Amino acid sequence: MSFTAPDSDQLPRTLNDYYSRARAGMSPRNRAYFLAGAGDGQTASANETAFQQAEVTPRMLRDLRGGSTEVSLLGQKLVAPFLIAPFAYHRLLHDAGESATARAAEAQSIKMVLSAQSSEPLDRVRSSGPGSDWFQLHWLGSREATQALAQMALDAGFTRLILTIDAPVQGVRDREIEAQFQLPPDVSAVNLARFTPPAFTSREDAQSIIFDHIAETLPTWADIAWLIETLEAPLLLKGVLHPEDAAQAQRIGAAGVIVSNHGGRVLDRAPSTLSALPAIVAKVGPDYPVLMDGGIRRGVDILIALALGAKAVLIGRPIACGLAVAGDLGVSHVLRLLRDELEIAMLLSGCATVQDIERDMVHLKL
């Protein structure tokens, strides 16, 4: 299951080299799980294409002394405006799983968001990377169960919470079905073991196969408003694509939204996140924390997302590739390459600080 970490002189040298080596080295099942999108993969590839089609018009001869990539977000200082996105089951890629990823994040002073579907116990991950204090929740079928999961995270020292709202059911995962993906017996969502899955009542008058079984266990805005009121920590909503949903999140007191389509793993045909971002920022205003993820593969992509109004971004598959190729060393290297590329993009486009990255520098050809 795991790869042996190569000597550092055998490590890939570029981000694209990580992605191609990871793709080539993964088992077909892992490739289907980690790299494919739902359905035809249209949304997953639209995320990447949107960045590739964006144009950055650089500014020249500005004063670049004292530059930095630092930002403030929800009362925390980040050395660079990106975090590791929450993704499930790191142990499929490396024996040390999320602990290896957290160690790498710590080494680079970048924060990792731990998924509720972590394959390592959350205490162990926290102690491997104490600087990573963000945790991602799923709705667990009821207010009480979801609140208990949030409390478990807060008790373990997490201080920033994200609730993922875009995956009430799994997307149509053709690639996983074709590859017969299933979890091996030694990999599971260990932190959810103590929560009993919601009981589905099958009713005589059921009109549909899937709807009638799960709809009762799904949250609505009233449930989220309740959760936000009961929690003593900021909660962001992840998986927002419509400006009205962003405005609703703002109204009920969410600490921010993450413009995301789950890396194209849920509703195939959903818009790319980069194309959805500007209207959302316009709706909630420039001061509300809007983050985004999906399709970011290079440092310059981070600059593009920031120009369009994101306060920070999350990075998923590039991190999975680093972990697959070389464990914590690989993740650490991918983080470093992303940050170096961002700095180079800022210098080349005349931006000493993140505040200097302006909307009119980026043109979207969508």
The residues binding ligand FNR (CB under 6 A) are 33-34, 47, 85-88, 115, 117, 136, 164, 238, 260, 262-263, 265, 293-296, 315-317
**Minimal distance, residue 138 CB to ligand FNR, in Å:** 7
Radius of gyration of the chain (CA): 20
**By C-beta, is 71 or 292 nearer to ligand FNR?**
292
Q: How far is the CB of 225 from ligand FNR (least distance, A)?
A: 20
Q: Rank residues 118 and 350 by Cβ distance to ligand FNR and give the closer one.
A: 118
Given a contact cutoff of 8 angstroms between Cβ atoms, the answer to whether 26 and 35 are in contact is yes
**Which of the following is catalytic: 213, 262, 333, 363?**
262
Instruction: Give whichever of 191 and 350 is closer to ligand FNR, judged by the CB atom.
Output: 191
Choose between 228 and 266: whose C-beta lies nearer to ligand FNR.
266
Instruction: Tell me the closest approach of the beta carbon of residue 85 to ligand FNR, in angstroms.
Output: 4
Q: Which is nearer to ligand FNR, 39 or 86 (CB)?
A: 86
Shortest distance, position 11 Cβ to ligand FNR, whole Å: 21
In the complex with ligand FNR, which residue's Cβ is closer, 332 or 350? 332
Cβ of residue 301: shortest distance to ligand FNR, in angstroms? Answer: 10
Contacts 24+ apart (CB under 8 A), 203-206: none
202, amino acid identity = S
Distance CA 351, CA 357 (A): 6
200 is written with which tokens? 């589905």
Quote the least distance from Cβ 60 to ligand FNR, whole Å.
Answer: 31
In the complex, which residue's CB is closest to ligand FNR? 316
φ, ψ for residue 109, nearest 5 deg: 55, 35
Residue among 84 and 307 whose Cβ is closer to ligand FNR: 84
Rounded to the nearest 10 degrees, how much is the dihedral formed by the CA atoms of 310, 312, 316, 322? 140
Return d(Cα 311, Cα 284) in angstroms, integer.
13
CB of 264 vs ligand FNR, minimal distance in Å:
7
262 is catalytic: yes
Cβ partners under 8 Å of residue 198, min gap 6 = 140, 141, 142, 145, 214, 217
What positions carry a catalytic annotation? 262
